[in-house]
Structure formats: C-alpha cells, structure tokens
C-alpha cells in the first residue's frame, strides 16, 4: 500500500519537515560524491553495533565518533528508492505532527525518535558488523505519533492488485496498524545476523513515538517557535477539499460545506473537491466567484443521488469563510 495524501491539512507550513527532507537530499548527494570511498564513510557515520559491543574495537573511537552516528545515520540512505520511500512517508505524516507540536518541539521529537530507534537496533543486533543507515526509525516515530493524534484521519492509498491500480481511503489507524503488523511479522522472520532492513528499529521508533508524543504535546511551545509560527501560518484553505455531504432520508440533493479565506472570497478561487461515494470518490473543480459571501450556496447540477427512475439530484455547497 502506498499512501498518497492524508485528509488533514496542517494549519502552518511545515518548515522543519521540509528542511529535514532537504537535509536528507543534500546528504544523499554527498554520498554520491564519495565514489569508491562511500563504504568507508558508511562504516564511520552509520551505526555499526560491533563498534559498541566489542570493547577492543570500541576503544579505537573517540566518544564523539561513537555518539555522532546516531544522528548522522538518520540522514544517510542505501539508495534512491530507500530515500524516496522514506521522504515520501515523512512528507505525508510529518506536517500534521509538526503542526501539533510546533516547529522546535517537532525537531527535537524527530531526533529523539531517530536516536531511540538506533539504540534499539544496537541492542537487538549487538554482533552485527554491518552499518545501519536511514531515516526510517525517526519516521516510524512520526507515524506512531500520527496514529495517536489523528487515528480517524483518512489516508488516500494506492493499492496495486495484479495489473490494476485501486485508489481507496483508509482510516489512519488501519493503515498504520497494518504497517506495524508488517514490521513485526518481518522482524520475527528475519535472523539477527542477516543484513537488510532494520525492522526492530522501525518497531522501536514507532513505539517511542507513541509513548513520547503525549509528553511532548504537554510541553509549552517555545518562544522562538511561536514567533516562527506567525510567519508559517497558511494564508489559504486547502486546494483539495473532501466534502462530506448530507441529505434528507428521501431526498436526492446533497448538502455540504466548502471552506475559503476572506482573501479567496474577495478575489475568487478554484478548489478541487472530492465527494465520497463508497470506496471511490468523485473529483471535480469548483469555481468560487469573486465577492462571494458567507453562507452563499453553490449549486452543482446533477451531481446528487440517483433514484431508480434515473432522476438525479444536485449538490449544494455552503460557503464558509474562515478568518485566518
């Protein structure tokens, strides 16, 4: 299953999340520049458990050289698809967690989850000589936090079945629960001395995210983050909005709401809306005319319910103007 987007749009621009993604991209370019020296770099900056469990080997490194990999390894990846997959999941789930925690707390939380995941991998693979790299542990913590904060959010998911692609909306607790099940199942089948995906780091990061998100949520926002939030507040409503229409029991017309800002009401705008219909959705573009007022109803002809005789009702969207 491949997540395409979630239904909750953050109220602020996820500046830290974007910077983390950019930092991972720059680190990947650095990896490509290493050429034949890449293996040495990964052994130095990746988490190599034997470096910590073997006293003789551990003595050859300084304290800084032993601590730094727990941070550096979060920004290194094993290939293009590795970094692409990680950054996509971070893009999908990170913005809402950053919106909830604030920019500074989110950065600390992200790094904490990554370090904790690295420590768990170290504990479960003490004799491994293979370097472990990747942001997966930190991102797993973000996903754990998302599950606790937004369990009923809906994730638009691409599910390939044979040669066909299916797009369905799945509740977050089902999508993330299934993801966690796959990690646990895979970890139980993978011998500890075999390299590859650090399943236990994923599981550990996820659990750390679940445990610490409520604690971080209670910590007051820091002054610097509050000042930055003033500049990162979004100035428009989502370009894509999911409409949850209601209708009288025996009626064919559907009634819903569409959100816009005062600026969009003044100058007009266009929104892409999705109207649920079972597992699938109808997607269409709605034009909001300039000068529209609060409570104005927009009529979308013949997009309502269909009866047995072939008669179809309309969709009415009530304009709600939000003051940002």
Interacting residues of 280 by C-beta distance below 8 A, sequence separation 6+: 167, 168
Q: What CATH number is attached to the domain comprising 307?
A: 2.60.260.20
48 & 133 share domain: yes
- Kind of pairing between the strands at 164-171 and 154-161: antiparallel
CA-CA distance, 47 to 70, in Å (whole number)?
7
Q: Where in the sequence is the domain holding 301, given as residue range(s)?
A: 240-321
18 & 112 share domain: yes
CA-CA distance, 187 to 181, in Å (whole number)?
10
Interacting residues of 158 by C-beta distance below 8 A, sequence separation 6+: 1, 2, 3, 4, 165, 166, 167
227 & 266 share domain: no
Inter-residue contact 209 to 116 (CB < 8 Å): no
217 & 72 share domain: yes
288 & 194 share domain: no
How does DSSP assign 128-193, residue by residue?
--S-B--SHHHHHHHHHHHHHH-TT-EEEEEEEETTEEEEEEEEHHHHHHHHHHHHHHHHHHS-TT
38 & 82 share domain: yes
Q: What is the pLDDT of residue 192?
A: 59
CA-CA distance, 95 to 15, in Å (whole number)?
9
CA-CA distance, 238 to 270, in Å (whole number)?
10
- Cβ neighbour number for residue 295 with a 10 Å cutoff: 9
Q: What is the pLDDT of residue 135?
A: 92
Last residue of a domain, one of 202, 232, 262: 232
57 & 160 share domain: yes
Inter-residue contact 260 to 320 (CB < 8 Å): yes
CA-CA distance, 29 to 75, in Å (whole number)?
11
Q: What DSSP element (H or E) covers 105?
A: helix 103-124
Last residue of a domain, one of 177, 206, 232: 232
Inter-residue contact 169 to 155 (CB < 8 Å): yes
CA-CA distance, 134 to 113, in Å (whole number)?
13
106 & 216 share domain: yes
215 & 272 share domain: no
226 & 283 share domain: no
Q: What CATH number is attached to the domain comprising 160?
A: 1.20.1540.10
Number of structural domains the chain divides into:
2
Inter-residue contact 15 to 22 (CB < 8 Å): no
Inter-residue contact 42 to 131 (CB < 8 Å): yes
- Cβ neighbour number for residue 182 with a 10 Å cutoff: 13
pLDDT tens-place values along the chain, 324 residues long: 788 888 787 778 899 999 999 999 999 999 999 988 999 999 999 999 999 999 888 888 889 989 999 999 999 998 999 999 999 999 999 999 999 898 889 999 999 999 999 999 998 888 888 899 999 999 999 999 999 999 988 888 888 877 777 788 888 999 999 989 988 888 777 665 555 677 888 999 999 999 999 888 777 665 555 555 555 666 667 777 777 778 777 788 888 888 888 888 888 888 878 776 655 567 788 888 999 999 999 998 888 888 888 888 888 999 988 875
51 & 182 share domain: yes
203 & 248 share domain: no
Instruction: State pTM to two decimals.
Output: 0.75
């Amino acid at each position: 299953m491949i997540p395409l987007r979630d239904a909750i749009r953050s109220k602020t621009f996820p500046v830290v999340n974007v910077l983390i993604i950019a930092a991972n991209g720059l680190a990947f370019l650095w990896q490509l520049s290493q050429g034949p020296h890449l293996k040495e770099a990964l052994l130095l900056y990746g988490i190599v458990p034997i470096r910590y469990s073997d006293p003789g080997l551990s003595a050859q490194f300084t304290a800084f050289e032993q601590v730094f990999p727990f941070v550096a390894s979060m920004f290194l990846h094993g290939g293009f698809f590795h970094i692409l997959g990680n950054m996509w999941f971070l893009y999908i789930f990170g913005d809402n967690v950053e919106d909830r925690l604030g920019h500074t707390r989110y950065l600390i939380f992200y790094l904490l989850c990554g370090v904790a995941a690295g420590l768990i991998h170290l504990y479960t693979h003490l004799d491994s000589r293979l370097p472990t790299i990747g942001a997966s542990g930190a991102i797993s913590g973000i996903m754990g936090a998302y599950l606790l904060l937004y369990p009923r959010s809906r994730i638009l998911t691409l599910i390939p079945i044979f040669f066909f692609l299916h797009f369905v909306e799945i509740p977050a607790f089902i999508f993330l629960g299934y993801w966690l099940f796959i990690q646990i199942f895979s970890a139980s089948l993978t011998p500890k001395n075999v390299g590859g995906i650090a399943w236990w780091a994923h599981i550990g990061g996820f659990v750390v995210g679940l445990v610490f998100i409520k604690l971080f949520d209670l910590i007051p926002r820091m002054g610097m983050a509050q000042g930055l939030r003033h500049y990162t507040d979004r100035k428009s409503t989502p370009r894509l909005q999911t409409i949850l229409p209601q209708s009288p029991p025996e009626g064919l017309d559907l009634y819903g709401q569409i959100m816009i800002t005062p600026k969009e009401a003044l100058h007009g705008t266009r929104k892409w809306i999705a109207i649920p219909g079972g597992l699938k959705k109808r997607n269409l573009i709605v034009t909001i005319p300039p000068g529209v007022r609060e409570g104005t109803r927009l009529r979308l002809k013949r997009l309502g319910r269909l009866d047995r005789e072939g008669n179809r009702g309309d969709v009415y969207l009530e304009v709600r103007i939000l003051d940002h």
